[in-house]
Amino acid sequence: MTKHLQDAIGQTPIVELTRLDLPERVRLFAKLEYLNPGGSIKDRIVRYIIDDAEQRGALRAGGTIVENTSGNTGAAIAMLAATRGYRAILTMPDKVSREKQDTLRALGAEIIVCPTAASPGSPDHYVDTARRLHAERPGSFMLNQYDNPLNAEAHFRTTGPEIWRVLKNQIAAFVAAGSTGGTISGTGRYLRSQKSEIRTVLVDPIGSIYHSYFHRGVVDPSMIGTYHVEGIGEDHLAECMDFSALTDVIQVEDGDAFATCRDLARKEGLLCGGSSGANVWGCLQVAKTLRAPATIVTVLPDSGVKYMSKIYNDDWLIANGFGEPTTPGLISRCPS
């Protein structure tokens, strides 16, 4: 029996995707992280880090939590801040969807929207803004999700074991996109500690630095660009991204991630965010390289409900150059 909201975090279902175009005898499973109470995989790390901060006395009753977030960490912080009586101040890039911004405000957080195009290190960048606000408020607590080892540890302790318990030795590959790297590093490390041959593949949006850093060992500033898929990829190296836990990094285009989202909705009944589309698209690429029989597993980090005005909006897709999507379902007026 679940007693507190926080007890509903984790233990999410794992479902098999059976209607996508997979090679013979390759099975694909997805962990439905969007079913966490705050709506995303980030509930896990936020609870883990806040619990630790409370135990250490770094966060005291009535205190303030400051963090930079693309929205999902913010929702988890706002949710737990509401239940535990903290003030939440959250900074985010302005590409974050309106739905996500409104969610944080509805949960009582104060939000500060920063230009997506601001370069890291500049005062307007959303990470630098959060650091400044934290420094200006003595006694405030910053999760520091990018560089805090507890981020990946939360996945090592929860996401990894939950996946292993269900799929065990069948697993040939774990595929996930990353921003802080907590998910792929922590889950990947755990799965590989159980079976060292498991492949851990990071899916990186074009415009993010991780692909070039993994393959060439340098952060190539000419590779940094803007892209539409939210919550994944980075313009700076996060300490949580453990490259030694990765066996490969592949690149994904926005259009492929969004087309996969729409496939997931119509073929599998899964209404997911863009990173879920990227993850599943990555799985389909990795599937072609595995020796069957093989099982691939991924996570679906957040819900498509947060992106109705973007990924599931034909006008937005067309306006942003993602072609002529076929309208999912039809809206008719009555009387017709």
- Nearer to ligand PMP by Cβ, of 9 and 232: the residue is 232
72 binds ligand PMP (CB under 6 A): yes
Size of the residue set binding ligand PMP (CB under 6 A)? 18
70, exposed or middle or buried, with CB in 10 Å at 0-12, 13-18, 19+? buried
306 catalytic? Reply is no
Q: Which phi and psi angles does 233 have, rounded to 5°?
A: 75, 165
302 binds ligand PMP (CB under 6 A): yes
Strands (DSSP E) contained in the chain are 14-17, 26-31, 64-68, 87-93, 110-114, 141-142, 171-177, 199-205, 248-252, 294-299
Which of 271, 277, 269, 284 is CA-nearest to residue 299? 277
188 binds ligand PMP (CB under 6 A): no
208 binds ligand PMP (CB under 6 A): no
- Nearer to ligand PMP by Cβ, of 26 and 114: the residue is 114
Side chain identity at residue 86, one-letter code: Y
39 binds ligand PMP (CB under 6 A): no
Question: Mask: binding to ligand PMP, 267-286, rule CB under 6 A, as x and -?
Answer: ------x-x-----------
181 binds ligand PMP (CB under 6 A): yes
**Lateral strand order in the sheet of 141-142:** 110-114, 87-93, 64-68, 141-142
- Quote the distance between the C-alpha of residue 262 and its chain's center: 18
Query: Of these residues, 42, 100, 306, 310, which one is catalytic?
Result: 42
- Nearer to ligand PMP by Cβ, of 63 and 148: the residue is 148
- Nearer to ligand PMP by Cβ, of 64 and 151: the residue is 151
263 binds ligand PMP (CB under 6 A): no
177 binds ligand PMP (CB under 6 A): yes
232 binds ligand PMP (CB under 6 A): yes
In a 3-state reduction of DSSP, which class is residue 177? strand
Q: How far is the CB of 218 from ligand PMP (least distance, A)?
A: 21
- Nearer to ligand PMP by Cβ, of 64 and 145: the residue is 145
179 binds ligand PMP (CB under 6 A): yes
- Quote the distance between the C-alpha of residue 150 and its chain's center: 16
* CB-CB contact of 229 with 275 (8 Å): yes
Token pair listed for 15:
């479902």
CA distance 91 to 259: 29
In the complex, residue closest to ligand PMP by CB: 231
Annotated catalytic residues are: 42
User: By the criterion CB under 6 A, which residues form the site for ligand PMP?
Assistant: 40, 42, 70, 72, 177-183, 230-232, 273, 275, 301-302
